[in-house]
Structure 1
Amino acid sequence: MDDSSLSSSVDVDKGFAIAFVLLLFLFLMVMIFRCAKLVKNPYKVSSTTTEPCLS
């Protein structure tokens, strides 16, 4: 009986590993889209961040 209740419980280490992989995958997707936007139009993206304020 103890074995069946133990196997039905959630493994905490496995849950943390799955959550870490999902967050890493999400971060990778965001970085891919940002880099693709930069490659597509580098002047528009960089002009807003590097242009000094003259006013």
Structure 2
Amino acid sequence: MRRPPVSQHLRLLRTSRIATAHRQARETQYTLTDDHVAHIALDAIRHAQDQPVS
């Protein structure tokens, strides 16, 4: 199974209004629109880091 490119994931986040995009010259900065979503993402990352790799 192919992995979708990052651009497809970012587009999905924008169309779902979970993230916004701000373009500056050749770079685009993405920002989460809701602090609750940011907390969920950070909790998931921390949880994954605490799990032993088998």
Same topology, TM > 0.5: no
Report which of the two has the higher share of helix: 1
TM-score in terms of structure 1 length = 0.36
TM-score in terms of structure 2 length = 0.37
Larger RCO (CA under 8 A, 6+ residues apart): 2
Task: Specify the structure having the higher radius of gyration (Cα).
Answer: 1
Report which of the two has the higher share of strand: 2
